[in-house]
Amino acid sequence: MLKIKNLHVSINGKEILQGLNLKVNKGEVHAIMGPNGTGKSTLANIIAGKPGYHVDKGEIIYKGRNLFEMPPEERAQEGVFLGFQYPVEIPGVSMTNFMRTAINEHRKYKGLDPMSAGEFLKLMKEKQQLVEIHSKLTNRSVNEGFSGGEKKKNEIFQMAMLEPELAILDETDSGLDIDALKIVANGVNKLKTKDNATIVITHYQRLLDYIVPDFVHILFDGKIVKSGGKELALILEEKGYEWIKDESPN
């Protein structure tokens, strides 16, 4: 589904990703771990198409298409979803209106008619339950006045609404207490099917107790320096990132 080949990315002339390779298939859950500042969020942003990054080399093929040729909204419509580390507030735009616009844009892309108000509200209700998010929150403006945990839940709620094929969750666990973490993980697990894939970006192993990955990759200095099964996360937890630095060729 997703193939990243020898990806070099820089921002303002500073090289962040330095030859990253990654392959993700349908039905898989990948965890990307690594210390701060090694390019985890850059990877998430570059897949989603955030402006400001410069691709120096390499390619990303998604569902057989060159991802760099698609604007961000088209990537989203093709099923790429990014759960933001720091979801932005959009004052005055209600969650309901926002999601309805998003859903209808997705449907338009697929050649479907817009969803009726009734259907939409039904869908909202259903998905709200999945992530145990208060309907009160969805009546408010997008992320405005949400607590850290509410923002993260709201990201998963939107993921549930949009049913992506490739979900990238960027530090979704950061700032969550254990109850919220469970709810978020539970939501992600429920949304998992054999046809979609998830990339979980995290700093701590903690989240992986709840979302069990098929693969764990360790990102260091803009490259994946180690890949393995879920046990790799445990080793990392035990030995710390210093271990990777020692293991790393440079």
Partner 1 sequence: MKEEEQNNILNEVTQSDYKFGFVTDIDMEMAPKGLNEDIIRFISKKKNEPDFMLEYRLRAYRKWLTMQEPDWAHLNIPPIDYQDIIYYAAPKKKKELSSLDEVDPELLDTFNKLGISLEEQKLLSGVAVDAVFDSVSVKTTFSETLEKYGIIFCSFSEAVQNHPDLVKKYVGSVVPYGDNYFAALNSAVFSDGSFCYIPKGVRCPVELSTYFRINTAGTGQFERTLIVADEGSYVSYLEGCTAPQRDENQLHAAVVEIVALKDAEVKYSTVQNWYPGDKNGKGGIFNFVTKRGMCKGSHSKISWTQVETGSAVTWKYPGCILLGDNSIGEFYSVAVTNNHQQADTGSKMIHLGKNTKSTIISKGISSGFSNNSYRGLVKISKRAENSRNYSQCDSLLLGDKCGAHTFPYINTANRSSIVEHEATTSKISEDQLFYCQQRGIDTENAIGLIVNGYAKEVLKQLPMEFAVEAQKLLSISLEGSVG
Return residues touching partner 1 (CB under 8 A): 48-52, 71-73, 76-77, 81-82, 84, 87-88, 90-93, 97-99, 101-102, 105-106, 109, 141-142, 158, 162
How many whole angstroms separate alpha carbon 22 and alpha carbon 201? 13
| Amino acid identity for residue 73 in this structure | E
H or E stretch at 200: strand 197-202
Using DSSP bridges, classify how beta strands 197-202 and 166-170 pair: parallel, antiparallel or unpaired. Answer: parallel
- Residue 97 Cβ vs partner 1, minimum distance, rounded to whole Å: 7
Contact 195, 167 (CB under 8 A): no
Residues in a beta bridge with 219? 224
**Which is nearer to partner 1, 81 or 146 (by Cβ)?**
81
Nearest distance in Å: CB 106, partner 1: 5
SS3 content of the chain, % helix, strand, coil (to 5): 40, 30, 30
**Smaller CB distance to partner 1: residue 78 or 132?**
78
**C-alpha to C-alpha distance for 225 and 112, rounded to whole angstroms:** 43
Question: In the complex, what is the shortest distance from the CB of residue 93 to partner 1, in angstroms, rounded to a whole number?
Answer: 4
Report in angstroms how near the CB of residue 46 gets to partner 1 at its nearest: 12
Q: Whole-number minimum distance, CB 209 to partner 1, in Å?
A: 28
The residue (of 73 and 247) whose beta carbon lies closer to partner 1 is: 73
Which CB, 13 or 91, lies closer to partner 1? 91
Q: From CA 9, how far away is CA 132, in angstroms rounded?
A: 37
Reported residue count of the chain is: 250
Give the nearer residue to partner 1 in terms of CB position, either 151 or 226.
151
